A and B are shown apart, each in its own frame.
Chain A
Amino acid sequence: MKIICPSCGNHKSFLIPLWVRCTFKFNEDGTLSILHVRQLESLEDKIVDQGKTSFAITCKECGADAQVTLNEYENLDTEKQQLVALEGL
């Protein structure tokens, strides 16, 4: 799998938004204390669904939507298959 920013070429750091369930309490002085934070979404699903929703992975450097390639060798495999087919002919 490969993640790349098409705008600035960054391929290292990206930001992913996530829904979490937060358990909190009210203190005596009116302030809030966080007791627990539970993730509500699957990170794998979010990465696979990149490009299908607006709630997407963005580049940390420039903020543009990132591009996720799940199988970067897919095109190479296709080229090899085409080459074998041509040789067969």
Chain B
Amino acid sequence: MKLLCLVCGNYTYFETDITTVKEITAAGSLISIDNAMFPDFDYTEDTVRDNLKDIVDYVLKQDDSSLVFDPETESYYNRHISCARCGSPKVSKPFRPKKRIVSLDQELEENYKEFEALRKERTDHENHLPQLWQP
């Protein structure tokens, strides 16, 4: 579960507004509008997929900044993504308590032996650098 609608509990279907690009082809006085095709790819399809992925990744990464407080309803709503089932913009990342809370010092101490082994395996390139100047 990545996103959750706070109104209906939907966590699968969502909607968002994105930009895409179409191609206008003019032949004489006739104008037709199709997908923008380049020799090796469909630009329209690519922009739809890329922009959708970008906005979803942004919302998942910046959950707090994508939420806006509405003083009238006194609740937060998502300004990018809405629920496709009930249409509500009250969509946010579900709250997940952290599974493991270990301090950084403790984690470093736990992994110290592994790090020491890694240091021994490491090749010291800095000792084999070419000598540019010698007194």
Contacts from A to B (Cβ < 8 Å): 1-3, 11-26, 30, 32, 34-35, 37, 40, 43, 47, 57, 60
Flag the segment in B19-27, B95-103, B120-128 that touches A. B19-27
Q: Does B52 contact A (CB under 8 A)?
A: yes
- Is B13 a contact partner of A35 (Cβ separation < 8 A)? yes
Can you list 20 A-B pairs, Cβ within 8 angstroms, ordered by A? A1-B29, A2-B26, A3-B24, A11-B26, A12-B26, A14-B23, A14-B24, A15-B43, A19-B18, A19-B19, A21-B15, A22-B16, A24-B56, A25-B84, A26-B1, A26-B2, A32-B56, A34-B49, A47-B24, A57-B24
Give Cα A35 to B20, complex, Å.
16
A21 touches which of B1, B16, B36 (Cβ 8 Å): B16
The B interface, classified by DSSP as helix, strand, loop or mixed, is strand
- Is B31 a contact partner of A3 (Cβ separation < 8 A)? yes
A20-B17, A34-B49 known; 16 new pairs, CB 8 Å cut-off, are A1-B29, A3-B26, A11-B26, A14-B23, A14-B24, A14-B26, A17-B21, A18-B19, A20-B18, A23-B84, A24-B16, A24-B52, A32-B52, A32-B53, A35-B13, A57-B24
A15 touches which of B1, B2, B21 (Cβ 8 Å): B21
Give Cα A24 to B54, complex, Å.
13
- Is B19 a contact partner of A17 (Cβ separation < 8 A)? yes
- When distances are taken between beta carbons in the complex, the residues of chain A under 8 Å from B16 are 21-22, 24
Give Cα A21 to B87, complex, Å.
12
Once A22-B16, A23-B84 are accepted as A-B contacts, the answer to whether A16 and B52 lie under 8 Å apart by CB is: no
Give Cα A43 to B20, complex, Å.
13
- Is A25 a contact partner of B12 (Cβ separation < 8 A)? yes
Rounded to whole Å, the gap between the CB of A6 and the closest CB of chain B is: 15
Once A1-B31, A13-B25, A32-B56 are accepted as A-B contacts, the answer to whether A26 and B19 lie under 8 Å apart by CB is: no
- When distances are taken between beta carbons in the complex, the residues of chain B under 8 Å from A22 are 15-18, 48, 52
Rounded to whole Å, the gap between the CB of B132 and the closest CB of chain A is: 47
- When distances are taken between beta carbons in the complex, the residues of chain B under 8 Å from A14 are 23-24, 26
